[in-house]
Structure 1
Amino acid sequence: MKNNVRFDLSNYLIHFYRDVDLLSDDAIAFPEHMGFDNICYETNLDALFLLRCSIRKGRIWASWSYRNGKPTIYGYNPAVCFTDMPVAAFFQTSFERKARGEKISQHALCIPKPQGFAYGARPVIYALTDSNVTVTTSHCGQIRVIDTNKLPLSEQYRYVAYDPCRPIPLDWSHEREWRWSYKGDLSQYFSELEDGVLEDERFIPALNLNVNSFNGLGVIVENSKEAKMILHDIIRLVDQKIIPLGFYEFILVSEALSDISKIINPAGLNSEIAKAQIDLSPYFVSRQKDADYLNNQIGKIANTVRENSKGTPSEVFEYGTAWVWVLDNTSNLARLLIQTDRMIVSQEGRYLIKLPEFEVDCSLSDKEKMCEEVAQLLSAEYGVECVYYSVTSSSNENSVPFYAGDHDGNLFYNRSY
């Protein structure tokens, strides 16, 4: 539609993340364990950490958006909040508001607006014609419900209080908000909250990105270092066959946009998005001949290591499995081996080289020593960091880690600082 091509309109719904203090009145529900690849030691969760959690899990978590301990989303269904402000306006307002100490960041997901609408996102309703809104509370004040004679329960998640005539105006219209309402079962979620601990993030209500046919999504980050982290996560999801190529289309880096005026005009924004497009094709070029050769070479290395270690067996036999872990999923070593049966990607995103040459009559400690030696040889030969990884009493790579090394600074780990 020609009339929609304007600098004050947007083709995207933006869901931005903010730093969260889990002990504050506006904290979010966060699980006790988000996986061994997502590490938070403190109660403060930074926006980048939460963005990467969303991308890795394929979920945008819904809430009642508490402010000062009170829900700002009405009704019994939590919601995911978006803004449809133009991307240029988002860059400007996020920078200015964060500088003032407000709860916003330049870390966000962008969903094409037609797709968001198709999956149920709707613009909010700022105030009602009848300003006498009666509100009741339940769940110890955690749920607020408007008189259904004034607004149907199914639409209450869209309501935003608005009164610019008050001595201190009540006006959130600058946020140009859209919301998506979660309609699923909340019984397990409330049960875990009552117990005081959320054990599993899967019980948190959320918009599931990966199970819906989204495509052309974008990511906004502050700098190129963060963009590299996001690229790592996206490649991992494609390798795991969780998302297809094209699911994420671009990564916009705010520090690279020195002049926001360049993206105020839709044509300028499209130009910057084109520059920021994620070209994953170099990482997924079929090189089967090279991959098979490398696979055979690793087999030879493993056999040599096994032969040389036969004279020093472990005194105690321990059952378990060990692998060589390639820490850079963009490396040539990983990109070739992923085309063979030699490499697997675990649920948490570890790129593991299988070494069946070590499986017969070898104790776990023996396997670990041999895998460590192979890892050192591959690191020296291919210039990529390789280590060993193991699980005990199992052959399943997704079991609880027994040894994972000390590599917290690696892109595999999503850390909240």
Structure 2
Amino acid sequence: MSVSPENWGPHAIVEDVVVTPLFLLRNALRLQRLWATWSVRRGRRTVYGPHPAVCLTDMPIAAFIEAGKKRAAKGEAMSAFSIVLPKDHVHAAGARPAIYGLSVDVILPRGDECGSRILPDAVLPEAEQYRYVTLGDYGKVDWTHEREWRWPCRDEPTDPQDIPPLDGKDVPGLDLTFPGMGVIVRTQEQAHKILHDILVLNDMHSSNSYDFILVADSISDLPALRDPGKVRHVLTAASIDLESIIFVTKTDRILWLAKYNKAVSDVSTEKLPKMGREIGGCWLWLTDAAHPLTRALVAEGVVHINQDGRYLVDVPFDKDLPLSVREELARRLAALLRSRHQQSATYHSVLGKFGWDDIPSYSNPPLENRLIFNYAHDDDDR
């Protein structure tokens, strides 16, 4: 039985129960949480005991990339996507290595129809049973090479048959708040999507925990990953330098502010709408968090980021103008920024109120924009 929240997460576009690995990774980043599950296989839980768990793999980054590429080439079920967690911090949060096998013979509970699988306390205390991984549960199974770790979710136990929470943010799991985390993806295009998500978290002051994004396809010399003297250089060369994007030099900030102000002054005021007396707030919505103009305006402190992660800028148009007129001026400014600087943008407005999180709000959401919207079924995200 497959169950999932009605609302997966921020800007998630889901139309089927089968979703891509990159969608799941981005959803976890945006929610800042890895969901705890029972890891159901063929109608049975593979997590024993009374608590669901988050399953992790203890592998060096180089080994993960090499194994991922080779297994993907064979058509095996291993993707090139990963969130890299510092082992010492995960251990401090309660994660422990899996236990492969028991010292005494025991008849394992079958747990048909997703029923609980709890071992006798004399065999393994309930508090440790989430760590147990079988070596031969109704068929040949050997996952010892995975060097699995598990983190137990000690919150109220959930039943796989239960209706899940309506919102993904309410699904319990391991919060991704550790320092020194990283992300591994397959392509540069996927890396740009992840970069957007990390910048939003950083700019909203929700997290500054991610140190790197590693692009597996940028590594052409796989054998070099096995050379201790070369591995760090190879991995660094294939990574996106987050610090150089997040932090803007004073020179670049001045340059891009001048370009922005020039675009504002060049907005045409001809043939504006004549009708409408609506009042309300109106902003320019910058839809590319990594663009140098966005970074400069964030550094200047003139960007408001609302609860939906939209980068909103007050524009110096007369606030006494009707809302429809200011919306049109914001659209024209967005068009100038697109044509001159390849900065994607649109407008965001609120009728009758002036807070960027107020409702009802209006905009022209760029549904085709894969940076903002997390699509669950894009073939190139597998």
CA contact (8 A) 1:250 1:273 kept: no
The CA deviation at 1:261 is 2.0
The CA deviation at 1:361 is 5.3
The CA deviation at 1:300 is 6.2
TM-score (norm 2): 0.85
Which residue of structure 2 lines up, in the alignment, with residue 30 of structure 1?
A: 4
The CA deviation at 1:185 is 3.4
Instruction: Tell me the distance in 2 between the aligned counterparts of 1:394 and 1:193.
Output: 43
Equivalences for residues 306-345 of structure 1 within 5 A: 308=269, 312-315=273-276, 317-318=277-278, 320-345=280-305
Instruction: Tell me the distance in 1 between the aligned counterparts of 2:274 and 2:237.
Output: 56
Are the structure 2 counterparts of residues 282 and 376 from structure 1 closer, same or farther at C-alpha, using a change threshold of 3 Å?
same
The CA deviation at 1:128 is 0.6
CA contact (8 A) 1:232 1:329 kept: yes
Instruction: Tell me the distance in 2 between the aligned counterparts of 1:70 and 1:43.
Output: 19
Instruction: Tell me the distance in 2 between the aligned counterparts of 1:278 and 1:225.
Output: 12
The CA deviation at 1:340 is 3.3
Decide which moves more: 326-335 or 384-393: 384-393
Are the structure 2 counterparts of residues 265 and 147 from structure 1 closer, same or farther at C-alpha, using a change threshold of 3 Å?
farther
Instruction: Tell me the distance in 2 between the aligned counterparts of 1:319 and 1:42.
Output: 40
Equivalences for residues 396-411 of structure 1 within 5 A: 396-398=355-357, 401-411=361-371
| Other structure's SS at 2:79 match | coil
For the pair 1:281 / 2:240, whether they are aligned, the reply is no
Q: Give the one of 130, 153, 157 matched to 1:182.
A: 153
Which residue of structure 1 lines up, in the alignment, with residue 183 of structure 2?
A: 219
Instruction: Tell me the distance in 2 between the aligned counterparts of 1:230 and 1:163.
Output: 38
Amino acid in structure 2 at the alignment position of 1:338 = V
Amino acid in structure 1 at the alignment position of 2:134 = A
| CA root-mean-square deviation | 3.2
The CA deviation at 1:72 is 0.2
Are the structure 2 counterparts of residues 282 and 392 from structure 1 closer, same or farther at C-alpha, using a change threshold of 3 Å?
same
Which residue of structure 2 lines up, in the alignment, with residue 368 of structure 1?
A: 327
| Other structure's SS at 1:409 match | coil
Are the structure 2 counterparts of residues 102 and 367 from structure 1 closer, same or farther at C-alpha, using a change threshold of 3 Å?
same
Identical-pair percentage:
32
Decide which moves more: 45-54 or 399-408: 399-408
Which residue of structure 1 lines up, in the alignment, with residue 307 of structure 2?
A: 347
Which residue of structure 1 lines up, in the alignment, with residue 51 of structure 2?
A: 77
CA contact (8 A) 1:301 1:374 kept: no
Are the structure 2 counterparts of residues 314 and 185 from structure 1 closer, same or farther at C-alpha, using a change threshold of 3 Å?
farther
| Other structure's SS at 1:218 match | strand
Q: Give the one of 169, 177, 201 matched to 2:140.
A: 169
| Other structure's SS at 1:128 match | coil
| Other structure's SS at 1:146 match | coil
CA contact (8 A) 1:182 1:207 kept: yes
For the pair 1:378 / 2:337, whether they are aligned, the reply is yes
| Other structure's SS at 1:45 match | coil
Deviations 1:140-199 (A, max 9, x none): 6432111112111110000011249x9x5332212211111111235xx66x974x4531
CA contact (8 A) 2:263 2:333 kept: no
Which residue of structure 2 lines up, in the alignment, with residue 209 of structure 1?
A: 176
For the pair 1:159 / 2:121, whether they are aligned, the reply is no
Are the structure 2 counterparts of residues 409 and 299 from structure 1 closer, same or farther at C-alpha, using a change threshold of 3 Å?
closer
TM-score (norm 1): 0.78
Which residue of structure 2 lines up, in the alignment, with residue 19 of structure 1?
A: none
Give the unaligned 5+ runs of structure 2: none
Which residue of structure 2 lines up, in the alignment, with residue 129 of structure 1?
A: 103
Instruction: Tell me the distance in 2 between the aligned counterparts of 1:403 and 1:125.
Output: 52
For the pair 1:270 / 2:232, whether they are aligned, the reply is yes
Are the structure 2 counterparts of residues 362 and 312 from structure 1 closer, same or farther at C-alpha, using a change threshold of 3 Å?
same
CA contact (8 A) 1:294 1:337 kept: no
Instruction: Tell me the distance in 2 between the aligned counterparts of 1:90 and 1:299.
Output: 47
Q: Which gives a bigger RCO, structure 1 or 2 (Cα 8 Å, sep 6+)? A: 2
For the pair 1:233 / 2:233, whether they are aligned, the reply is no
The CA deviation at 1:95 is 3.3
Amino acid in structure 2 at the alignment position of 1:259 = D
CA contact (8 A) 2:84 2:183 kept: yes
Are the structure 2 counterparts of residues 370 and 335 from structure 1 closer, same or farther at C-alpha, using a change threshold of 3 Å?
same
Instruction: Tell me the distance in 1 between the aligned counterparts of 2:170 and 2:128.
Output: 24
CA contact (8 A) 1:319 1:393 kept: yes
Instruction: Tell me the distance in 2 between the aligned counterparts of 1:97 and 1:296.
Output: 48
CA contact (8 A) 1:390 1:404 kept: no
Amino acid in structure 2 at the alignment position of 1:330 = A
Equivalences for residues 51-62 of structure 1 within 5 A: 51-62=25-36
Instruction: Tell me the distance in 2 between the aligned counterparts of 1:193 and 1:321.
Output: 45
Instruction: Tell me the distance in 2 between the aligned counterparts of 1:348 and 1:291.
Output: 29
The CA deviation at 1:259 is 3.1
CA contact (8 A) 1:327 1:350 kept: yes
For the pair 1:252 / 2:219, whether they are aligned, the reply is no
| Other structure's SS at 1:263 match | helix
CA contact (8 A) 2:214 2:240 kept: no
Instruction: Tell me the distance in 1 between the aligned counterparts of 2:195 and 2:272.
Output: 44
Decide which moves more: 374-383 or 293-302: 293-302
Q: Give the one of 97, 100, 115 matched to 1:142.
A: 115
